[in-house]
Structure 1
């Protein structure tokens, strides 16, 4: 069974800095983070339950049954567009393209999250492996696994399944309710939300 720890082929070209010798813990990253979004609202448990019913079979298997999608055959592993990645279930903002790098594994890889407090780490000894599972805080979605072989400055590699993520292009942040993250992409002009037409008398 494929897993994030084993490098797959064909290997992608790594364009990031060399790995750090002293990996940071997720908690140690908290002081380095920019302010979190204020326009995103955590959904209620009822809303989350409804959204789970709308998941595709692959999305459900990954997020609810701790599945792992195939490497190199998922939509976001080689996505290089500017934007952020949110939980497919809750919409919780999790990662940015600014911290995405080519790991050669065939899965989306990041060297840190947008906000470590939105990430839950759990010990995972399934399939005879000793790993750290990564889950979203609000949606409790299985995202992937965390390893300590990432690039500088953190030395971390968040190996994440595409099926657990939704990509928000940088120009759509304001329109999709993530305007607080537009500061990450000052070069991108925002597409503003359409206002409701008013009826004249």
Structure 2
């Protein structure tokens, strides 16, 4: 919805800016229709033409697919930088393969957390994983992981989605996996600032 509203604003701006340039005056209703058409076309274009380096994953929480996705992600070669609230979501034997991949990273894993409590955190620290406490003054609520190997960098951004079906409610994670250099640079700078504090 926000994307459509911003597209409508772009359409309106284009109509208002272009109108005097071509020397015509258009009625308000016609401006609105042209702006709406531009908004619809722009929204469709954004929907169908995606960045080829960006993939969206829909993963049911607490499922085998969830565990396999994160275990495979952390198993990839390179350094991993994770930012989230805590690691309580990794408690329990069903998440052992994810925790094992982080343990195997050792000093190549940097984890930034608000809450350092729990056996998962101490166990990872025992294997050389570097854990940083996020100061309370930092208010960003996004969860992400950045994987870097030489010049290759990939970022995943996690968000929780609730879906209601005919039979039951399910929690899903929507994971945006991207190689967008602007997002990656933003995440890198953010993590660097946390490491320096």
TM-score range, shorter chain: under 0.3
TM-score, with structure 2 as normaliser? 0.22
TM-score, with structure 1 as normaliser? 0.22
Higher fraction of strand:
2
- Greater length-normalized contact order (CA 8 Å, ≥ 6 residues apart): 1
Query: Whose radius of gyration is greater, 1 or 2?
Result: 2
Higher fraction of helix:
2
